[in-house]
Amino acid sequence: MSKKKILLYGFGTVGKGFYQIYQDKQSSEFELIGIIVKNLAKHSPVEVPIYQYGTEQEKSLFSQADIIIECTSNYTEGKDIVLSALENGKTVISASKKVLAENLNLILDTKEKHNAKLFYEAAAAASIPIFKVLNYHFSHENVRYFKGILNGTSNFILTKMETEGLSYGKALIQAQQLGYAEADPFSDVSGWDTAYKLVLLTFSASGTILNSHDLFIEGIENITFQDIYLAKNNGLRIKLLAHADLEKNIFFVCPAFVNNELANIDEAWNAIQIEYEYAKSQFYTGRGAGREATGSAIWGDLNLSQSLEKISQKPVSLIDTAEYHGYWFIRLHSPLETDLLYWNTAEVLTHNKIQNYYVVYAPLSRLKELKNKVKNAQIIQISDENTLKVFTKQTVSYSFQF
Q: How far apart are CA 175 and CA 108, in angstroms?
A: 33
Question: What's the closest the beta carbon of residue 76 comes to ligand NAP, in angstroms?
Answer: 8
Whichever of 72 and 159 has its CB closer to ligand NAP, that residue is: 72
Question: What's the closest the beta carbon of residue 169 comes to ligand NAP, in angstroms?
Answer: 20
Residue at shortest CB range from ligand NAP: 12
Question: What's the closest the beta carbon of residue 15 comes to ligand NAP, in angstroms?
Answer: 6
The DSSP element (H or E) to which 379 belongs, if any, is: strand 378-382
Question: What's the closest the beta carbon of residue 253 comes to ligand NAP, in angstroms?
Answer: 16
Whichever of 39 and 307 has its CB closer to ligand NAP, that residue is: 39
Whichever of 80 and 275 has its CB closer to ligand NAP, that residue is: 80
Whichever of 126 and 253 has its CB closer to ligand NAP, that residue is: 126
Whichever of 25 and 42 has its CB closer to ligand NAP, that residue is: 42
Question: What's the closest the beta carbon of residue 275 comes to ligand NAP, in angstroms?
Answer: 25
Q: How far apart are CA 110 and CA 80, in angstroms?
A: 12
Residues that bind ligand NAP (CB under 6 A): 9-15, 36-39, 42, 53, 71-74, 77, 95-97, 122-123, 126, 179-180, 182-183, 289-290, 294
Question: What's the closest the beta carbon of residue 103 comes to ligand NAP, in angstroms?
Answer: 13
Whichever of 84 and 260 has its CB closer to ligand NAP, that residue is: 84
Question: What's the closest the beta carbon of residue 6 comes to ligand NAP, in angstroms?
Answer: 14
Whichever of 183 and 396 has its CB closer to ligand NAP, that residue is: 183
| DSSP string over 46-60 | -SS-EEETTSHHHHH
3-state secondary structure (DSSP) of residue 221 = coil
13: Cβ contacts below 8 Å, ≥ 6 apart: 179, 290, 291, 294
Whichever of 9 and 269 has its CB closer to ligand NAP, that residue is: 9
248: Cβ contacts below 8 Å, ≥ 6 apart: 322, 324, 401
317: Cβ contacts below 8 Å, ≥ 6 apart: 206, 207, 208, 209
34: Cβ contacts below 8 Å, ≥ 6 apart: 7, 8, 48, 49, 50, 51, 57, 58, 61
Question: What's the closest the beta carbon of residue 154 comes to ligand NAP, in angstroms?
Answer: 13
Q: Is the dihedral of CA 136, 138, 144, 145 positive or negative?
A: negative
**75, 14 contact by CB (below 8 A):** no
Distance in Å from the first CA to the final CA of the chain: 52
Q: How far apart are CA 84 and CA 65, in angstroms?
A: 12
H helix intervals, 56-210: 56-64, 75-87, 97-102, 104-113, 130-132, 152-164, 168-177, 186-189, 192-206
3-state secondary structure (DSSP) of residue 402 = coil
Question: What's the closest the beta carbon of residue 294 comes to ligand NAP, in angstroms?
Answer: 5
Question: What's the closest the beta carbon of residue 316 comes to ligand NAP, in angstroms?
Answer: 23
Whichever of 179 and 255 has its CB closer to ligand NAP, that residue is: 179
**271, 283 contact by CB (below 8 A):** yes
Output Rg (C-alpha) for the chain, integer angstroms: 22
Whichever of 180 and 357 has its CB closer to ligand NAP, that residue is: 180
The one-letter amino acid at 128: I
